[in-house]
Amino acid sequence: MDIYLVGGAVRDKYLQRPVADRDWVVIGATAQDMLNAGYQPVGRDFPVFLHPQTHEEYALARTERKIAAGYSGFQFYANKDVTLEQDLLRRDLTINAMAEDAQGNLIDPYHGLNDLQQGILRHVSPAFAEDPVRILRIARFSARYGFQIAPETMTLMQKMVANGEVNALVAERVWQELSKGLMERCPRLMIEALRTCGALKFILPEIEALFGVPQRADYHPEVDTGEHTLLTLQYASEQNYSLEERYAALTHDLGKARTPQHILPQHLGHDLAGIKLIEALNRRWNIPKACAQLAVLCSAYHTQLHSVSQLKPSTVLKILQKTDAIRRPHRFKQILRVCVADARGRKGFYNQDYPQMQHWLNLQAAATNIDTATIARTQSSPDRIAAAIDRARLQQITPIQNAYRQSHAH
């Protein structure tokens, strides 16, 4: 048998990036040959094995044939007669269809190294169109490397969308690719790629609906709500925000969308509309709880958090309570960080001062700095404890809030 290093490990080597995982393809062997050599099978129906010492994946060279819709509708053929070139041909992009032999020699039948050097994402063969996940995957690679998608590949992606391939996508794979793309260095490129090929209106119609929605030019020089969303998301990436924060940055303004009637009734107010849209999106793709909750809170409260200088102390306390800021200070700080991204995700505002964040943290600290146990002992009945604690917290935050309001009065 002959063994070759393939895929991402070869690609990242030539990009001079750290190689996280190494995958291998085996030529001229059968499943029984692998078992005899001590390799452990990954599954009964898939020709992939784990090395007995390194536990890296070794796959038998194989070809694929599309037999049903969706990313799982493939029939595999793996046997000794499958060549390396045939195995590489089934892969998605030329930059992922390179291999190295045991001596480190490059095997590159589909010119992936040239595309890598030119910064181009190009499909290997028309079989690219058989797997709808590849639309998301190529958009994610665009976000990772900043590469351009080859015109013929974009045309193929558009045909895939028109043919309804994206309707076969399942939640697990969609979120897997979206979450990875959000964590890349330029996530706005992923959204732009999905929008250009037409997939965004099927995968994230709530985001698609933001483009073309105007905003006040004095607050938003970029004017377009969709562009503001991309600027906010990109700021979150450049500041190394968490996945939860980036997802909230992406969805914070959904209430501004011109949303189709079948998605959301038009009479709902901005904040409530945004919450309903985020909840629908969360359900559609089974968004993890931490991401889902932070997105809803940011949508619901970011406008009030921005406008803290106009709030009464009693309103401040209600917001601290509704965001659970006292019990979950880390999440409250995440909400504030998304607010910073929203404020700075505008043309010319990247370094804008945002004193609201520190002020809210001061208010949070003041509301927390009370002795609830002592207060509880002073009350004659349990039903009065909560009200007494609220009064104590309001007493703590009132002078801080009044001083801030006065210093920021126009």
With bands split at pLDDT 50, 70 and 90, how would you rate the model's confidence at 261? very low
**pLDDT given for residue 71 in this prediction:** 55
Task: Provide the pLDDT for residue 267.
Answer: 45
Angle 250-256-261 (CA atoms, 0-180°, nearest 5)?
A: 110
pLDDT of residue 266: 47
The amino acid at 196: T
Q: Is the pLDDT of residue 145 over 70?
A: yes
Domains within the chain, CATH numbers bracketed: 1-125 (3.30.460.10)
**Coil, helix or strand for 3?**
strand
A 10 A CB-CB count for 374 gives 9
Other CB atoms within 10 Å distance of the CB of residue 318: 14
Give the list of residues 6+ apart from residue 265 with CB closer than 8 angstroms, or none: none
Q: pLDDT tens across 97-140, in order?
A: 999 999 999 999 999 999 999 999 999 999 999 899 999 999 99
pLDDT in tens, 27-47: 999 999 999 999 999 877 678
Is residue 149 helix, strand or coil?
A: strand
Give the separation between CA 264 and CA 262, rounded to whole angstroms. 6
The percentage of the chain sitting over the pLDDT mark of 90, rounded to a whole number, equals 82
Tokens of 280: 């629908």
3-state secondary structure of 48: strand
Collapsing DSSP states into helix, strand and coil, what is residue 41?
strand
- pLDDT beyond 70 at 242: yes
Of the candidates 163, 164, 237, 151, the one whose C-alpha atom is nearest the C-alpha of residue 196 is 151
Q: pLDDT averaged over the chain?
A: 92
Q: Which pLDDT does position 66 carry in this prediction? A: 65
What percentage of residues in the chain have a pLDDT greater than 70? 94
Question: What kind and span of H or E run contains 20?
Answer: none
Going 147 to 152 to 158 to 161, the CA torsion angle's sign is negative
Cβ neighbour number for residue 78 with a 10 Å cutoff: 19
Q: What is the pLDDT of residues 151-210, one digit of tens each?
A: 999 999 999 999 999 998 999 999 999 999 999 999 999 999 999 999 999 999 999 999
Rg value, the chain, Cα = 26
Of 85, 82, 95, give the one whose Cα is nearest residue 122. Answer: 95
SS3 53: coil
Distances (CA, A) of 350 to 14, 197, 229, 341, 345: 34, 29, 14, 9, 6
| pLDDT the model gives residue 369 | 94
pLDDT grade, residue 72 (50/70/90)?
Answer: low
Please name the amino acid found at residue 31: A
Beta carbons of 233 and 257 less than 8 angstroms apart: no
Choice among 65-69, 70-74, 89-93 with the minimum mean pLDDT? 70-74
CA-to-CA distance for 123 and 61, rounded, in angstroms? 19
Q: pTM of the entire structure?
A: 0.91
Check residue 262 and give its pLDDT: 42
> What number of residues does the chain have?
410
Return the residue matching tokens 């309570």.
Answer: 321
For residue 259, the model assigns a pLDDT of: 53
382 — pLDDT class (breaks 50, 70, 90): confident
Q: Which residue has the tokens 């991402």?
A: 8
